[in-house]
Amino acid sequence: MRLYILFCTFAFYKLKSMRNNFKFMVVLFATTCLLSSCKKKNDSSQLSNNPFMQEWETPYEVPPFNKIEHKHYLPAIKEGIRQQCEIVESICSNSEQPTFSNTVIPYEYSGELLNKVASVFLNLTECCNDKEMEQLADTIIPLLTRHQDNLMLNEKLFEKIKIVYQNQDKENLNPEQRRLLYIIYNGFVRGGANIPKEKQSRFREINERISSLTLKFGNNVLGATNNYILFVNDENDLDGLTEAQLDAAMETAKNSENPKGKYAFTVHIPSMEPFLQNCKNRNLRKELWTAYSSRCLNGEFSNNSIINEITNLRIEKAQILGFDNYANYVLDNCMAKNANNVYDLLMKVWTPALEKAKEEAATYQKMLNNDGFSGTLQPYDWRFYAEKLRKEKYDLNDDDIRPYLSLDSAQKGLFYVCERLYGLTFKENTQIPVYHKDVKAFEVIDNNEVIAIVYMDFFPRESKRSGAWMTNFREQYYDRNGNNVIPVVSLVFNFTKPIGDKPSLLNIDETETLYHEFGHALHSILSRCHYPTLSGTNVPRDFVEMPSQFMEHFAFEPEVLKIYAHHYKTGELIPNELIDKINAASTYGQGFVNTELLAASILDMDYHVITESTNLKLPDFENDRMEKIGLINSIISRYRSPYFQHIFSGGYAAGYYSYTWSAVLDNDAYQYFKEKGIFDPATAISFRTNILERGNTDDAMNLYVAFRGQKPSIEPLLKNRSLK
């Protein structure tokens, strides 16, 4: 068994613009606790009316959000720990020879209650957070961390699993069972099972301290992001913004607790990005950009000392486990295997991307000078002149595109692609309880059978962190009676809310985000794995982004656009002329897009290849790293260190490169689809059965080769990004 701690940020999920597509990374926390602390039972009065202790009489046994209160979490977490400890104790005290059936299977399915509670709590800390949830997290996260360490360092349990691992050839195990045994055994080794006793106490301290620091880091970013608003009174100062953008800014001001102007702009992406692209007032662009890019560097929400401490603790942890640095500890469990392989791939893309970025910068510098500014191009100028040139060069801007990309229409297009590829249909079910009034719940139907439930949470609110991500309230697996347990998937976005009778209208980037996150969802929806540890998206970090990035390719295929892209007012189908413009501009600005992404990936690696305890100074460390790779001053890393949640409060430490690593796979895969026909049934079935259904039941490269017939080439990536 394993407990999925959905630790405070994700993925995480896709990285164009400032999307945190941080798929909401699930970090494996296979858990138990010291037997002396396990035997104490909770006060029965705390559990008698606790919904986590009852059968969920909801459709498909989804969480009864309308019945769950803050007071229910901690008692249920403690009871879940106690129940799991009983199972672990029974495994350890069993006098029979350890086997797969009497050791691995009960361990795999242990902790069901704990997993049930934690999945709800940790998901909601990201999208329905408040002060009480933060305080609960301060208690619950360290509790779960200690629980994990107690398991990983349980000598009796590890010894039994090791015996099964060493004797596996004597049992008639199928390939999926062998894979499960390997993943569990390797998880114990990586969790510290082999470290000397004299270092175990310090190892526990490190893990608990890291968990607290990463939680604090994420809370600081959320606090700093919500703490800043740019108010503007004079509409003349906002020349260049469209009527829709002004309306959205007025709505933001009205909803502010203490409005100080008619218009309000925040550093949340749906507000900031259009402002930087369109506002002609350079001073205001500078003010908003500075607030965004300096978040958490100083002041109340500073993350400087937290970054330094996390970095040093990770070095110490890796070296206790026998690795020279944290990057090689992480990568040993990924497709990349080591830091050298990561740097090698990143630099193959960095060199042509930087050259293209320099060409773009020279063009924008001339435009800046022509507008009467004598200074050098700044980061707060880039988006403005990139958008201006895009309009001139391709006669294309967001105002042309958005009316055809209402959220409802884009969703219909997404569902159309899923039906054409995999035969899936989607039906909203308003009887399924949701955790917020903005959330919609859908049944996913395959051959007249409901195979998954998907929540879709589209709009920003103060209780939700920025970005977009996918996660689970429940994984797909087969229970011990052989019954298929369907997944309950959650998709979270931060799209612009509807205003009046105007629906939420997406731009190109946001539409791709929708497809990206749904690619993650399909990896979970279509999973057909027997064991939760191997199910769905529980694959190596540099493989997990492959299905999501693969789905992005379909969003603007002409055949797909003609299905869903209808004008929200007139119902007019998107004209061929506009489709041609979108496709012509699809590789525009790739120098910037790739350079800021790769800069963040390299910065991540630079933090995690350090081998000795250090006293990092910010922004000096980051500035030095960026100067060494030649990053031009008018571009910054996609995420600056103090708000780089992926690596300091999420699951992507020494793993941000994975978007590029996975991009090699997804571009190669889509090239294959293009050769066969994008909706070719045989190719789609092969992708579904060899990749989406298989989870982590085999080595990731084996899964890819089974689909593709060969290892991937980097050439489609370079070509599609106009870098070759």
- Write out pLDDT tens, residues 15-24: 333 333 333 3
Q: Is 445 exposed, middle or buried (0-12, 13-18, 19+ CB in 10 A)?
A: middle
How far is Cα 281 from Cα 237, in angstroms, rounded to an integer?
6
Which residue has 């998937």 as its token pair? 489
DSSP string, 328-389: HHHHTTSSS-SHHHHHHHHHHHHHHHHHHHHHHHHHHHHHHHHTT--S---HHHHHHHHHHH
Q: What is the mean pLDDT of residues 22-50?
A: 50
Contacts (Cβ under 8 Å, ≥6 apart) of 598: 346, 349, 350, 353, 660
Is 257 found in the same domain as 120? no
Mark 229-264 as b/e (b = at least 16 C-beta within 10 Å): bbbbeeeeebebbeebbeebbbbbbeeeeeeebbbb
Burial class (CB in 10 A: 0-12, 13-18, 19+), 447: exposed
In this predicted structure, what is the pLDDT of residue 45?
63
**pLDDT at 631 > cutoff 80:** yes
Give the residue-averaged pLDDT of 669-692: 98
Which of residues 256, 277, 295 is at a domain's end?
A: 295
Would you say residue 178 lies in a domain? yes
pLDDT number for residue 650: 83
Domain boundary among 212, 244, 268: 212
The mean pLDDT value for 337-343 works out to 97
Question: pLDDT digits over 516-527, tens only?
Answer: 999 999 999 999
Residue carrying structure tokens 């990005």: 273
Instruction: Check whether residue 59 and residue 191 sit in a common domain.
Output: yes
> Which of 268, 295, 322 delimits the end of a domain?
295
44 — pLDDT class (breaks 50, 70, 90): low
Smallest Cα–Cα separation from 12: which of 664, 516, 529? Answer: 516
189 with 276, same domain: the answer is no
Residue 190 placed within a domain: yes
Peptide bond into 51 cis (omega under 30): no
- CA geometry: angle at 296 spanning 270 and 470, to 5°? 45
Q: Would you say residue 38 lies in a domain? A: yes
Residues marked as catalytic? 517
Residue 69 lies in a domain: yes
Q: Could you tell me if 459 and 504 are in contact, meaning their C-beta atoms sit under 8 angstroms apart?
A: yes
Please state the rounded mean pLDDT for residues 286-302: 97
- The verdict on 162 and 60 lying in the same domain is yes
pLDDT band at 35 (very low <50, low <70, confident <90, very high): very low
- 631 in a domain, yes or no? no
Residue 11 is part of which domain span?
3-212
**CA–CA gap between residue 650 and residue 644 (Å, rounded):** 9
Q: Establish if 568 belongs to a structural domain.
A: no
User: How big is the CA angle at 443 (ends 439 and 449), to the nearest 5 degrees?
Assistant: 170
Coil, strand or helix at 235: helix
Mark whether 136 and 282 lie in a shared domain: no
Is 134 within 8 Å of 70 (Cβ atoms)? no
Cα separation of 414 and 405, whole Å?
A: 12
Whether 193 contacts 153, CB under 8 Å: yes
Structure tokens at 709: 């017939």
CA distances from 355 to 346, 530, 593, 631 (A): 14, 48, 13, 10
- The pair of structure tokens assigned to 705 is 């080769």
The whole-number pLDDT of residue 466 equals 82
Structure-model confidence comparison of residues 104 and 397, the more confident one: 104
Report yes or no on 522 lying in a domain: no
Q: Quote the pLDDT of residue 42.
A: 58
554: Cα separation from own chain's centroid: 20
Assess whether 96 and 244 both reside in one domain. no
If asked whether residues 199 and 263 sit together in one domain, one would say: no
Least confident of 266-270, 274-278, 595-599: 266-270
Tell me, yes or no, whether 233 and 206 share the same domain: no
Least confident of 36-45, 201-210, 337-346: 36-45
Taking residues 320-331, report their average pLDDT: 97
Residue in 197, 184, 219, 183 with CA at minimum distance from that of residue 153: 197
Does 121 share its domain with 14? yes
- Domain holding 164: CATH number? 1.10.1370.40
Residues 291, 199 within the same domain: no
Average pLDDT of the chain to the nearest whole number: 92
Compute the distance between CA of residue 295 and CA of residue 18 in angstroms, rounded to an integer. 14
Helix then strand then coil, % of the chain, to nearest 5: 55, 10, 35
Q: Identify the CA nearest to 285 among candidates 304, 258, 308, 267.
A: 267
Q: What is the pLDDT of residues 69-126, one digit of tens each?
A: 999 999 999 999 999 999 999 999 999 999 999 999 999 999 999 999 999 999 999 9
**187 and 39 co-located in one domain:** yes
3-class DSSP assignment, residue 655: coil
Model pLDDT, residue 46: 74
Domain-located, residue 205 = yes
> How far apart are alpha carbons 113 and 3 in whole angstroms?
10
Question: What pLDDT, on the 0 to 100 scale, is given for residue 465?
Answer: 85
CB 635 within 8 A of CB 601: no
Domains: count for the chain: 2
Mean pLDDT score, 560-574: 96
Structure confidence at residue 41 (pLDDT): 56
The DSSP secondary structure of 139-162, one letter per residue, reads HHHHHHHHHHHHHHT-HHHHHHHH
149 and 70 co-located in one domain: yes
Nearest to 277 by CA among 228, 242, 231, 317: 242
For position 438, what pLDDT does the model report?
Answer: 95
Q: What is the mean pLDDT of residues 511-518?
A: 97
Inter-axis angle of helices 269-278 and 379-394, nearest 10? 70
Region for residue 366 given its phi and psi (left: phi exceeds 0; alpha: psi -120 to 50; beta: otherwise): alpha
Rounded to an integer, the average pLDDT of 579-595 is 94
